Structure 1
Amino acid sequence: MLDSVIFAMTKLGFPNVRLVIAEIGWPNAGDVDQIGANIFNAATYNRNLIRRMTSKLATGAPARPSVVIPTFIFALYNENQKGGPGTERHWGLLSPNETSVYEVDLTEKRSELD
């Protein structure tokens, strides 16, 4: 998807537009019909995202392999009072009481998490 934005902006005459990924993540819980919204999948997704975006070997999109793309995980906290489907309340790395929903290393100091 990043490459499609790069190619489209280039065709429109803006070849050097800087990309930022503002909200990316995976829900850690949801309603019974929201298959895949669970702690295991959220932890796996966000750990792999962090590993990919902080890798020293491969950064950026295929169209711009040497360009770092700033990336912001959605969200820091689960929003227990938000309305809508269950997944709307469960995107955070932390619960509203500030406890971790699952282990994730944002410091780049640990190579692997259990």
Structure 2
Amino acid sequence: MLDSVIFAMTKLGFAIIRLVIAETGWPNAGDVDQIGVNIFNSATYNRNLIQRMTSKLAIETPARPSVVIPTFIFALYNENQKGGSGTKRHWGLLNPDGTSVYEVDLTEKRPKFD
């Protein structure tokens, strides 16, 4: 998908613009009717994202070999005061009190989970 964005940008004349993934993540809780929203899926998504973006292969795509793509996880904290659907309040790696929602290693120095 990243290369399709790069090719589209190049076709529009923006070949030298750097690609950055500004917000990505998975909600860890939500309303009853929001399918697939749970701690397991959130932990899996963010662990795989961290593994992918910190691996040797993360620094390249076929369209831009040897180029780092900065990636930012949304969000650090769950926002218990935010309005709207349940998922809007549950994107964080941490609860509002600073405790972990689930174990995630941002350093990639700990042993991998099963």
Report if TM-score (shorter chain) is over 0.5: yes
Identity of aligned residues (%): 84
Q: What is the aligned partner in structure 1 of residue 102 from structure 2?
A: 102
Rounded to whole Å, the distance in 2 between the matches of 1:63 and 1:57 is 13
Asked whether the 8 Å contact 1:25–1:74 carries over to 2, the reply is yes
> How far has the Cα of 1:5 moved from its partner?
1.8
Which structure 2 residues correspond to residues 20-31 of structure 1 after superposition, within 5 A? 20-31=20-31
Work out the CA distance in 2 between the residues paired with 1:21 and 1:31: 27
CA distance in 2, matches of 1:25, 1:61: 21
SS at match of 1:40: helix
TM-score normalised over the length of structure 1: 0.92
- Alignment partner, residue 3 of structure 1: 3
Counterpart Cα distance in 2 of 1:73 and 1:60: 19
Question: In structure 2, what is the equivalent of residue 90 of structure 1?
Answer: 90
Change (3 A) 1:24 1:6: same
- Check whether the contact 1:103–1:113 (CA below 8 A) recurs between aligned residues: no
Kindly indicate whether the alpha-carbon contact (under 8 Å) linking 1:104 and 1:113 is maintained by their aligned counterparts in 2. no
TM-score w.r.t. length of structure 2: 0.92
Question: What residue in structure 2 maps to residue 53 of structure 1?
Answer: 53
Between the two proteins, the alignment pairs up a number of residues equal to 114
Residue of structure 2 equivalent to 1:79: 79
Q: 1 CA distance for matches of 2:15 and 2:91?
A: 33
Superposed CA deviations along residues 18-54 of structure 1, whole A, max 9, x for unmatched, are 0110100000000000011100000000000000000
Range 21-30 or range 65-74, more displaced:
65-74
Report the equivalent of 1:34: 34
RMSD: 1.4
Equivalent in the alignment of 1:113: 113
